[in-house]
Amino acid sequence: MGLKGRRHLIFAAGFMICLLLIKPAFAYTIPFHYKDKVLVLTYHHLEAYPQTSAAITPIRFHSHMKALRDAGYTIISMPHFISYMKNEQDVPPNAVLLTFDDGYESFYTKACPILNKYGYTATNFLVVSYIENSPPGALPHMSWKQIKELQTQGMSFYSHTYNQHYKDVVDEKGTKKPVLLGPLLNETKAEAHTRIRTDLMVADMELQAMLGKQPNLLAFPYGAYSPLTIQAGKEAGVTLFFTTEEGIAERGQELIKRVNAGSPEITEQVLLKKMKAYDEKQVSQAQK
């Protein structure tokens, strides 16, 4: 090799060394938000023109999923979450669990194609008696065939009660409250306890008969619960209760707080702002 060739070789080697030294400065670093905790997000329904406060558009849902990915959050499955809550498994930093309530068909037709695009899984809490039997005037609910198909894709399904997702009269004034809270008008506390426990047992039995053996989990309709609800649920075999109270989940808890992500006004920026409130740095500063 001549002098000119050696010079070219030395120059090329030096250039490569410079690239190796410079590359770390441009390397992407995954943002750190929190560790050993899980943010549980709640959705309900997807539709092109949201008619309620519990619906968002598919386009917005897609933007949420992209924002979660780009912000460094890691989506975990419900089985992983259950193992974490039982101290059997760790979760990655920035862990997020996606949940839907009510079992609407839009989960099958609109949400899951987007979830599959990102390789994400989600859980849907089903009002079991509504499967293939939507109440008059209600949005369409999924069928068992659709649910089983999604189960093969990694989606999971648990109880939103068998048939306790409504409000009824609780006093002589005609006040209506969620029926899972306790006694209705002319119903004793013992009768309410039996009603709730029986409903939750029936829901669990049907879910396991149709989907196979799995833990008994419950998301409270309307987020409503009482000590009576918890006691009846435990007697029915419920191991985790999912609320609508906002917060972050930590291992060992029974009452799981969630963060609402499924209202029309929650853009991806609003969602990330809500989630960043639970960053360890933000929490530490707030406690000072």
Residues 216/181, Cβ–Cβ less than 8 Å: no
Q: What is the pLDDT of residues 169-188, one digit of tens each?
A: 999 999 999 999 999 999 99
Q: Residues 19-35: pLDDT tens digits?
A: 444 444 444 577 999 99
The count of C-alpha atoms lying within 13 angstroms of the C-alpha of 119, restricted to the half-sphere facing its C-beta, is: 2
Inter-helix orientation angle 227-235/189-211, to 10°: 40
For range 93-112, the mean pLDDT = 98
pLDDT higher than threshold 80 for residue 132: yes
3-state helix, strand, coil in the chain (%, to 5): 40, 15, 40
Q: How far apart are CA 82 and CA 86, in angstroms?
A: 6
Q: pTM for this structure?
A: 0.89
Give me the long-range contacts of 261-266 (CB less than 8 A, separation at least 24).
261/41, 261/42, 261/43, 261/64, 262/42, 262/43, 262/44, 262/45, 262/54, 262/55, 262/56, 262/100, 263/53, 263/54, 263/56, 264/50, 264/53, 264/55, 264/56, 264/57, 264/60, 266/56, 266/60, 266/64
Cα 275 from Cα 97, distance rounded (Å): 12
